[in-house]
Structures are given as structure tokens and as C-alpha cells.
Chain A
């Protein structure tokens, strides 16, 4: 099955600096890569996603890059703010059956933005 590794497990940055979180996956059939943000005690929420036919996607201060050959993808957050502090999860997905897509998650990165 799919295996997703995520690094680093913890990341501290100064407010206004950039943060980068990296993930690798093992199954070349994976074709959808979402990133979720989870605040303490809350549910995971999608912040950005990318499909395998695209190399990069941006949404304001957040961007994701995908390298299919190397099987890795990264989350970039620019101009970080204290409210960006949370746990971030990457995931890789293949189509399962019907409308279902199995997500395999990385182990998470605790991002702390220091004021």
C-alpha cells in the first residue's frame, strides 16, 4: 500500500518568515495530494490540494509543488502569521472504487509561528 513520509515533525519560524513542509510518497499511482490544517481539538480542514497533472498551485500565501518523478511534494507558506500555527498533514490518494478515494496521511508537522 501507499506510504507517506512527512518532514519535519516540528517547525518553528518567526512571524513573517516562510515555512516549508515536505512529503514523499511511494505509490506511483497516487494522483491527488491534499494538505490539511488541524488546530488543537478541531477537525482537519483542507487548505490546498494538487493533482498529478499539475506541478504547482498557489492560493494567496500558500503554495504546493509536486515532483512526480521524485515522488515528493511540498507545502510553502509565505509571510507566516501567528494564526498559521497548527498541525499540517499531507496526504496522497488513489482512486479506489466508485466515487471513493483512499487518503494516506503523513504523520503531521507542528508549525509554530513566533511573534
Chain B
């Protein structure tokens, strides 16, 4: 099992360009999450999806949109990239306790995005 995978690993955009970050999980987990990680600030939740067909805003949703395509896939879209969106983006999946005793969120390898 691959766990949680993300594409691409690295990306450089110019201000105003758009792109979609892809995330997929083969763990059969219901919930999926997108975080961004900036130096000295830990990880901050952008959007999450409790189940297929549902999405909710997290702490820092402005400038982003998401799609929960099916149970496996959760994508993050930047419609008009800004330098402030330069960050490392992590996708995660979790069972939310559906598996007894486990609230763990499993993270993907991350996408390093630079907006110039």
C-alpha cells in the first residue's frame, strides 16, 4: 500500500497562474485534509472533507478551492496564485476513530510550491 500520495513534489508558479495539487489515498479512510506549512508556524488546516461529497473550510481557506472527487482523491486548487501562497502543502487522511482507537491522520510526502 502506498498510503497517501501527492503530485507534484515541486512546483514553481508565476503570480496569477493557476494549478491543482492532487492527493490520493489507498487506506480507505473517510476523512481527508489539506494543510500548509510555513517556517515557524507549524501546519495550518486549509480545507477538509469528512466524507465523499462533503468539504468544509479550515483555518486558512482564502485563495483555495477543493474537490473531493471520490473516497480516494482530494484535490486542492489555486485559482490565481500569490507569493503569500508559497509554502509546503501536505495532504492527510484519517479514519476519525472509525478504526477502533485510532484518530491518527496520515500525511502525504508534501508538495513544495513557490510563487514568484
| B-binding residues in A (CB < 8 A) | 1, 6, 9, 32, 34, 42-46, 49, 51, 89, 93, 95-108
With contacts A101-B96, A102-B45, A105-B44 taken as known, whether A93 is within 8 angstroms of B103 at the C-beta atoms is yes
With contacts A49-B103, A97-B56, A101-B31 taken as known, whether A43 is within 8 angstroms of B42 at the C-beta atoms is no
Kindly count the residue-residue contacts between A and B in the assembled complex, taking CB atoms under 8 Å apart: 82
Interface of B is mostly: loop
Closest chain A CB from B5 CB (angstroms): 11
Number of residues of chain B lying within 8 A (CB) of chain A:
32
Q: B42, B103, B105, B106: which has the most chain A beta carbons within 10 Å? A: B42
Which residues in B have their C-beta under 8 angstroms from that of A46? 104-106
Contact (Cβ within 8 A) A98 B40: no
Which residues in A have their C-beta under 8 angstroms from that of B41? 107
With contacts A46-B104, A100-B31 taken as known, whether A105 is within 8 angstroms of B42 at the C-beta atoms is yes
CB closest chain-B residue, reference A31: B103
Inter-chain pairs besides A96-B56, A97-B56, A99-B97, 20 sampled, C-beta below 8 Å: A34-B105, A44-B43, A49-B104, A89-B42, A93-B103, A97-B50, A98-B31, A98-B54, A98-B96, A99-B50, A99-B95, A99-B96, A99-B98, A100-B49, A100-B96, A101-B31, A101-B105, A102-B48, A103-B33, A107-B41
| A-binding residues in B (CB < 8 A) | 29-31, 33, 40-45, 48-51, 54, 56, 58-59, 90, 94-98, 103-110
With contacts A44-B90, A46-B104, A49-B104 taken as known, whether A98 is within 8 angstroms of B50 at the C-beta atoms is yes
Contact (Cβ within 8 A) B45 A103: yes
Q: How far is the CA of A48 from the CA of B31 in the complex (A)?
A: 20
With contacts A43-B90, A101-B96 taken as known, whether A96 is within 8 angstroms of B103 at the C-beta atoms is no
Contact (Cβ within 8 A) B58 A102: yes
Closest chain B CB from A31 CB (angstroms): 9
Contact of B107 among A9, A43, A100 (CB under 8 A): A43
